[in-house]
Amino acid sequence: MVVGDRFPAERDLAGQLGVSRTSVRQAMVVLQSQRFVEIRHGGGTFLRRSRGFGESLPRLMERRHHLPEVLEAREGLEVKIAMLAALRGTADQLLEARAALERMRVEIALGGLGIAGDRDFHHAVAEAAGNRVLQHLIDAIAESVHESRLESLSEPGRPLRSVAAHQRILDAITDHDEAAAGKAMLDHLREVGDVALLREEPPSGKAPFHV
């Protein structure tokens, strides 16, 4: 395809890719937000820019199917990690988590998404949990966790909400409140999972993918 070309009908594209029409529809909404495509109400979907697009759609399809499993794994691991951190975290470890959260704030203030600070915060909490097996497991899925982090922090308004969620997690850990730390982490990860790529339908006001 070249810039300006119209995409096949939704049902045809879904058949070519071996995925559902809902998946194609949602992927196109995400690609539109990344300015790869233009969705014209009643007219179809058109390629807006081509550089990097050839990799993007198949990767989005793969990520859409893979991401829910990553989020389930994160809940299973990181909620327990937060609870253990509340029981075992040392003053120095909590200072490191606080420093990571401050780095995230600075990144966002400078126009970034806060990805590095977010990563460092979760790593510091894992260190504070003091369980090497859990640390090993979370490190083993680090690449997939990065994808979920990037997807979430790319949502409009999400970086600052993530900072606030991290602060609630840190406050509960600092108070040595095991239950509150677990709940704060669970609430945070549930919000991480609320991303455009996984929503069943395009956001209100967006034109549907033309059939």
What's the pLDDT tens digit per position in 66-87? Answer: 788 889 999 999 999 999 999 9
Q: Identify the band that residue 156 occupies on the pLDDT scale cut at 50, 70 and 90.
A: confident
pLDDT higher for 197 or 18? 18
pLDDT higher for 104 or 197? 104
Where are the chain's structural domains?
Answer: 67-196
State what percent of residues in the chain have pLDDT above 90: 51
Q: Identify the band that residue 207 occupies on the pLDDT scale cut at 50, 70 and 90.
A: very low
pLDDT higher for 28 or 12? 12
Asked if the 67-196 domain carries CATH number 1.20.120.530, the reply is: yes
Displacement of CA 207 from its chain's centroid (Å): 24
pLDDT in tens, 17-29: 776 777 677 677 6
Mean pLDDT of the chain: 84
Q: Which pLDDT value is given to residue 59? A: 65
With contact defined as beta carbons under 8 Å apart, do 135 and 82 qualify? no
One DSSP character per residue, the chain reads --TTPBPPPHHHHHHHHTS-HHHHHHHHHHHHHTTSEEEETTTEEEE---TTHHHHHHHHHHHHHHHHHHHHHHHHHHHHHHHHHHHH--HHHHHHHHHHHHHHHHHHHTTS--HHHHHHHHHHHHHHHT-HHHHHHHHHTHHHHHHHHHHHHTSTTHHHHHHHHHHHHHHHHHTT-HHHHHHHHHHHHHHHT--GGG-SSPPTTPPPPP-
